[in-house]
Chains A and B, each alone.
Chain A
């Protein structure tokens, strides 16, 4: 049958070409019929002409474009030409998407012509014949893939160049050429990218009166885009924005991105060419549509100061804050000078700890680690040490033992903590503050990300100053203490209550630890705390000043030994426990179905036309926990989410996660919480404030009616 068709087509060719010798071969290999054809039956010396490798692929099978997508391989042609001839690259017609979920390939089904331009030398003799030979290799796939090869010949006559012979298959070549990408020409295309997306801005030429419906992008290189995600187009007047998801694994992006854009609308109006070749310089950018965006140092410092100030009111700092007020009350009777010095030392404690935090963060970041605010709480070891420290502190508050036991008599009564105590209070307050992000703070910290270390340190310093400010003022103006109650027995009671509050904090830290390192690590932590409490009890029982020196020294040694042992046990517990993949379930929100964050999932959802809410959170982030309970616990919010079919994504940063750190950075942040709403067809998301209420969420979601919808 094929033979017969071959003969008929050959005869037809001969008839059409008016008896000029033309030898075309058609070769049936497996699932593809391959054929070489020439634009004209004869060539003349020095001419450049097109040869087509026509591949007819069986139904249901496909072959590949130059970038095959997720799998497959492009066809290749190995030319054997007579001396003096030269050939150009394959001219690739634009491909289509071939879907094999979860994979996507770029290629062709049905019939495709791969054109090559061949240039003849000048020293050809008219009247002779030449034969072009091509070995074509291709991979043809359906479910399965088969590599195929054809050895093809095409014989052409050499004409004298005065008479130009007619093309035997004019429409074949016209059709093939129409599928080639045209140059970008008058279309102005600029490119920007961040960590997850590439955005092209396409500005139509003045004469273009059409309207693009959809646009697709096919890069020449692999590893640039997430092949299975279709780009989204939004229109703004005469220009369009095309948002393309990047390949999150290979994450390759050349400075100059080459590829083709396709649109069914035609780049020169209806029925014109569908594909356009582009070569676009890529510029990095943060697509942040933040109302409180920080662009200069002054505002960053102001925001840092305000953020630090508000940090005092965050739930995580409160226990220490109460203690501090408490010690100020205690010191009320002292000279103003002592009181000011205490305030100053407390501030120093705060600021120095902020420096240490910032320094650690900067050093680790310089080492290539993706970290952010609160990073130390991502470390189980830190959680164990902090819990142990807080536990001892709590025991001391409950009167099991006295931290200042060695300080003799009356002095200890008045300056219970002494200057080191004030300093330690500052350190404690800072450490406890890290799980919280106050309003303003996120923007300031985000700004510090992009700045040199000195500026980063300055911003952290202002955070510290802001946080310490209320106490400095209170210490400097003891008159303000009039508004606080007089010291007395009630303070002892309050102290005990604070002790229990700290125990509560430990409960929370243990929960975070359980998410990071599992139940075994928590059991080991409890064992460590048991040892510590035993040590503290020994110290309280026999460390009393009323007892003999030997007893006191022994109890101190036993105490030190048990602390060391306890910490060793606690840290050993982590080493022993495998760090399991994070399955944190820190979100309360009955009725809202949360999905875990992944860049691919987000891109996928962004194609779906749904509204997307992304909650960047962590178990150790108390503000996050409170926000979630307040905002997502509300029935109204839950109903609204259901009504608008909002896709809810939780990016859980409890344990270290480079993807999430990157995503935060893409929004100019390195801290949680961060709440982002994506509207379909709008490239830039809306960022909600760090303190979330049902009202804020509802107001934003209700405003959807006023959003420009381009989908």
Chain B
């Protein structure tokens, strides 16, 4: 009888110990923003666009999404807009059902930060042809994605996974003539992924001007 009581008591103590270990109150979360890494889910964000509408990444689940860090006054960005390369790609991607979001993380007062009418006029002048130009004035989304340069490109697949991060192509210059013949990493990543293949070049070093945080 004595042994039965001891054994039952022991079992109960163990049970209580485990419960208390598990069910104890939790502290408020202390989580800093995680950085976007290729092969992992792309962190979600919501930003206001030039047209005043709000866009969130998660609302495009099921589609390919391209993120482009932009600063119209950066010579490396000028190379791609001035030559018509960027608008051409933006149109082509839109025709293929790919969502293209440009993000400007320039802080107010720094180069590349535009708003309102001035921005709309500038977009028109640049031949801007993507879905939305998003304003990230406090640089939060830029830091979340560890965006370093303009341009800095990211490709996200329909499942929301980041499949490419880095440069737009393999010619890190400001010269218009270098666009012809350059290997475009964005197109390559999209083509492989859409064909169901592994993306071979998943990370490259982005080139351009520093993002003006």
Contact = CB atoms under 8 A, between A and B. Distances in A.
Interface stretch (A161-169, A281-289, A490-498, A530-538): A490-498
A141 B110 CA distance: 13
B205 A223 contact: yes
Interface string A92-109: 000000001111010000
A581 B31 CA distance: 10
B24 A629 contact: yes
A146 B205 CA distance: 21
Contacts of A315: 17-18, 21
A365 to B, nearest CB: 15
Contact of A102 (B24, B30, B32, B143): B143
Interface in A586-617: 586-590, 593-596, 598, 600-601
A579 B61 CA distance: 12
A613 to B, nearest CB: 14
A553 interface: no
A585 B211 contact: no
A493 B15 CA distance: 14
Q: What band does the interface of chain A fall in when counting residues whose beta carbon is under 8 Å from B?
A: 35 or more
Interface in A130-156: 137, 139, 141, 143-147
A507 interface: yes
B80 interface: no
B11 interface: yes
Nearest to B21: A626
A629 B19 CA distance: 13
Contact of A585 (B17, B28, B34, B148): B28
A50 B24 CA distance: 74
A209 to B, nearest CB: 40
B208 A581 contact: no
Contact of A143 (B14, B24, B30, B110): B110
Interface in A471-520: 484-486, 488, 490, 493-494, 497-498, 500-501, 504, 507-508, 511
A379 interface: no
A248 interface: yes
Interface stretch (A68-76, A457-465, A680-688): A68-76
A318 interface: yes
B173 interface: yes
Contacts of B17: 315
Contacts of B76: 73, 145
A139 B27 contact: no
Nearest to B12: A497
Interface stretch (B39-47, B94-102, B179-187): B39-47
Contacts of A657: 40
Secondary structure at chain B's binding surface: helix, strand, loop or mixed? loop
Given A249-B165, A497-B12, A511 B205 contact: no
Nearest to A498: B11
Interface in A57-83: 70-73
A658 B166 contact: no
Nearest to B79: A147
Contacts of B39: 658
A584 interface: yes
Nearest to A585: B29
B149 interface: yes
Nearest to A625: B21
Nearest to B1: A485
A485 B4 contact: yes
A505 to B, nearest CB: 8
A103 B11 contact: no
Contacts of B37: 248-249, 658-659
Contacts of B26: 585-586, 588
B4 A490 contact: yes
B204 interface: yes
B110 A71 contact: no
Interface in B119-166: 143, 146, 148-149, 160, 165-166
Q: What band does the interface of chain B fall in when counting residues whose beta carbon is under 8 Å from A?
A: 35 or more
B166 A494 contact: no
A601 B173 CA distance: 31
Interface in A553-605: 578-590, 593-596, 598, 600-601
A585 B31 contact: yes
B3 to A, nearest CB: 4
B11 to A, nearest CB: 6
Nearest to B38: A249
B110 A103 contact: no
A251 interface: yes
Contacts of A222: 205
A154 B210 CA distance: 35
Given A596-B34, A658-B39, A73 B73 contact: no
A72 B61 CA distance: 34
Contacts of B61: 578
B132 to A, nearest CB: 21
Nearest to A655: B41
B203 interface: yes
Given A103-B148, A585-B26, A629-B21, A147 B75 contact: yes
A207 B114 CA distance: 60
Contacts of A363: none
A491 to B, nearest CB: 9
A322 interface: yes
A704 interface: no
Contact of A508 (B22, B30, B35, B204): B22
B22 A593 contact: no
B162 to A, nearest CB: 10
A250 interface: yes
Given A71-B148, A585-B28, A251 B172 contact: no
B154 to A, nearest CB: 11
Nearest to B142: A102
B192 to A, nearest CB: 15
B64 interface: no
Interface string B55-68: 00010010000000
Given A139-B174, A497-B11, A584-B29, A70 B148 contact: yes
Contacts of B3: 484-485
A252 B202 CA distance: 12
Contacts of A587: 27
B78 to A, nearest CB: 9
A596 B30 CA distance: 8
Nearest to B3: A485
A144 B73 contact: yes
B75 A223 contact: no
Contacts of B34: 581-582, 596, 598
B27 A504 contact: no
Contacts of B25: 588
B203 A249 contact: yes
B111 interface: yes
Contacts of B38: 249
B210 A507 contact: no
Given A72-B209, A504-B15, A588 B27 contact: yes
B18 to A, nearest CB: 5
A479 B97 CA distance: 74
A245 to B, nearest CB: 14
A588 B28 CA distance: 9
Contacts of A139: 75, 174
A702 to B, nearest CB: 26
B64 to A, nearest CB: 18
A301 to B, nearest CB: 30
A500 B14 CA distance: 12
Contact of B204 (A250, A580, A584, A600): A250
Contacts of B14: 318, 322
Contacts of B174: 73, 139, 147
8 contacts: A145-B76, A223-B204, A250-B203, A250-B205, A315-B21, A504-B22, A600-B35, A600-B146
Given A70-B210, A497-B8, 12 more contacts: A71-B209, A73-B173, A223-B205, A247-B205, A248-B37, A249-B146, A494-B8, A508-B22, A578-B160, A581-B34, A583-B29, A585-B29
Ranked 6 nearest A-B pairs via Cβ: A585-B29, A71-B210, A485-B3, A222-B205, A223-B205, A147-B174
